[in-house]
Amino acid sequence: MFFPSESRAYKERAHLKKQTRAGELFQKVMAGHCDRCGAQSGFYEGPSGGALRSLFCRNDDCRANYNATDLGNGTGWAELVGRAEAATYDRARHGAFSPAK
């Protein structure tokens, strides 16, 4: 029996939809908008590795944790991965992960 959800075209459309959503979320995050709580207060920079960086919502009640990658030319990818742990959030709030100036 054939299920449409098993077709290659269906999987490709689902993957494209996920990529589009990640790109839209990236634009919101770069504009300082938290998709989880709706705050426009921006983000603290968290730990990073390679091209990926963690961003934490500045709303202390929210503490949403996003992973984001800037692909250049105003495009990128972002994903809400949960809520920042209190200790990591506190370190980010005090600039522990900010780039050296």
pLDDT at 101: 43
pLDDT at 7: 75
Radius of gyration of the chain (CA): 16
Can you say whether the dihedral through the CA atoms of 39, 45, 47, 51 is positive or negative? positive
**From the first residue on, what is the mean pLDDT of each consecutive set of 10 residues in the chain (101 residues)?**
65 72 89 94 91 93 94 88 94 82 43
Contact in structure between 63 and 70 (CB atoms under 8 Å): no
pLDDT at 4: 60
Which residue type sits at 85? E
Given the DSSP bridges, would you call strands 43-49 and 64-72 parallel, antiparallel or unpaired? Answer: unpaired
Contact in structure between 75 and 26 (CB atoms under 8 Å): yes
Domain locations along the chain: 7-93
Contact in structure between 68 and 56 (CB atoms under 8 Å): no
